[in-house]
């Protein structure tokens, strides 16, 4: 059997170079080889020789089939196009996850996470599944995850992006997911880096509609409304059914003061998967148009259909004595939650967290950088330990205790040195 190893290796090498396909082997088996007279006499008396031939053929077929079934196949539709797995379980999970991941609602996003995790478990070399898993994590972090889970989920998303790009450095979806992770409160919305990531994704795959959509979303938020409109229109040209992208055209019209045009877009956009977004902006457009009763009816219907309004810190009450009230007990609302809810960073330095690059003109970090970064972390830790109830009931004073032991130790060392 040892003599078969070089033959099998040759078959595998030829398959890798595209010179041999499994069906070629199968076709070749239909016509038995012609054996010359000396060979006939040599093998006629040897059943072992025939057994070795049969074994060689079976092993060759098995080896070629294994190579074929274990590889991830990349479609050549466009540069940077998504790489598909030949593993049927991984492929099915990936495609089902793609149906869920774009809706930006908690149930669909969690379903997408579960499906992409199943896909990467079935095929650990499935780069596109890692990229989309990172995308689903970033959506959960931004809209749905409790504060206590955000750090871990962000780390998971970043790891999965790096895995995707390590497997395929030219994967457009990898750069797209990197842009999503960058454009978050966790990263402090660095628009230049996010724009660069989305542009790289589009350069690799101009037909990646969601990259155009999210690039337009960043442009919208930094006030480049015309550029935002153009990119979102490109996304809709690629995928006319992208209702979330269409809804954001209405948001741009709201920013331009075109409330009637915005309302027409909202009123004709089927955004059932993100009802809170649609109800919020549709009612706002109506309020701006002076159609207060219609706006109030939409808000009332939304709270009737979705009484929890997940993610909100406050809710409203109509009628005498009405107004706003907390959506959760004040003892459960941390001050850090309130600050992060309005996208305010808790930081004492402008440098990007986790980056070796500083904010000086040369790009280096200043001597006191670590001091101020650690101060920002301590502020976040402190505000996370204080609830709204603590503030109202005046239980905050004395929480930050001085480190007297350290101070005494420092004084002792100074005296000793003198």
Domain positions in the chain are: 4-71, 105-240, 335-352+365-417
Closest CA to 287 of 271, 267, 263: 263
pLDDT score of 367: 77
Tens digit of each residue's pLDDT (9 = 90 or more) over 69-122? 444 444 433 446 677 899 999 999 999 999 999 777 889 999 999 999 999 999
pLDDT, residue 246, reads: 94
Arithmetic mean of pLDDT over the chain: 76
Q: Which residues contact 277 (CB under 8 A, 6 or more apart)?
A: 104, 244, 247, 271
Q: Judge contact between 173 and 164, C-beta under 8 A.
A: yes
pLDDT of residue 398: 75
- C-alpha span between 253 and 274 (Å, rounded): 19
What's the rounded mean pLDDT across residues 24-43? 45
pLDDT score for 113: 97
Nearest by Cα to 163 from 203, 205, 194, 117: 117
What are the tens digits of pLDDT across the range 235-264? 999 999 999 999 999 999 998 999 999 999
Give the model confidence (pLDDT) of 226-236 as tens digits: 999 999 999 99
Question: What distance in Å separates the CA atoms of residue 12 and residue 391, rounded to the nearest whole number?
Answer: 70
CATH number of 105-240: 1.25.40.10
Buried b (16+ CB within 10 A) or exposed e, 89-110: ebbebbebbbebbbbbbeebbe
Q: What is the pLDDT of residue 138?
A: 92
pTM: 0.59
Q: Give the Cα separation of 2 and 252 in Å (integer).
A: 70
Q: 57-72 in b/e burial notation, b at 16+ Cβ within 10 A?
A: eebbeebbeeeeeeeb
């Amino acid at each position: 059997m040892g003599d078969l190893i070089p033959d099998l290796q040759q078959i595998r090498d030829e398959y890798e170079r595209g010179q041999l396909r499994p069906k070629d082997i199968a076709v070749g088996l239909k016509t038995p080889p012609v054996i010359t007279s000396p060979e006939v006499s040599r093998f006629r008396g040897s059943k072992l020789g025939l057994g070795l031939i049969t074994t060689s053929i079976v092993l060759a077929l098995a080896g070629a089939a294994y190579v074929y079934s274990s590889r991830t196949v990349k479609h050549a539709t466009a540069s940077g196009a998504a790489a598909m797995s030949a593993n049927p379980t991984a492929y099915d999970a990936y495609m089902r996850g793609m149906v869920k991941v774009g809706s930006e609602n908690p149930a669909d996003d969690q379903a997408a996470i579960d499906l992409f995790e199943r896909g990467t478990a079935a095929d650990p070399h499935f780069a596109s599944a890692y990229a989309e898993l990172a995308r689903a994590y970033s959506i959960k972090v931004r809209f749905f995850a409790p504060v206590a889970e955000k750090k871990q989920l962000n780390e998971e998303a970043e790891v999965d992006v790096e895995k995707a790009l390590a497997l395929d450095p030219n994967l457009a979806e990898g750069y797209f997911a990197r842009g999503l992770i960058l454009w978050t409160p966790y990263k402090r919305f660095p628009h230049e880096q996010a724009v660069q990531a989305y542009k790289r994704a589009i350069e690799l795959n101009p037909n990646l509609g969601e990259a155009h959509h999210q690039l337009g979303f960043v442009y919208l938020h930094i006030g480049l409304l015309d550029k935002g409109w153009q990119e979102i229109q490109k996304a809709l040209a690629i995928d006319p059914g992208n209702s979330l992208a269409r809804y954001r055209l209405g948001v741009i019209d709201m920013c331009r003061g075109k409330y009637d045009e915005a309302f027409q877009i909202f009123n004709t956009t089927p955004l059932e998967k993100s009802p809170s977004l649609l109800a919020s902006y549709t009612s706002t457009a109506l309020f701006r148009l002076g159609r207060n009763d219609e706006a109030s009816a939409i808000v009332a219907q939304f709270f009737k259909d979705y009484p929890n309004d997940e993610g909100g810190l406050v809710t409203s009450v109509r009628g005498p004595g009405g107004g706003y009230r907390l959506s959760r007990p004040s003892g459960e609302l941390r001050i850090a939650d309130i600050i992060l809810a309005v996208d305010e960073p808790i930081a004492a330095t402008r440098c990007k967290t986790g980056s070796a690059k500083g904010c000086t003109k040369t790009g280096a970090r200043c001597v006191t950088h670590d001091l101020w970064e650690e101060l920002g972390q301590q502020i976040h830790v402190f505000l996370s330990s204080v609830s709204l109830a603590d503030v109202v009931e005046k239980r905050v004073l004395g929480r930050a205790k001085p480190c007297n032991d350290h101070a005494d130790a420092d004084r002792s060392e100074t005296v000793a040195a003198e």
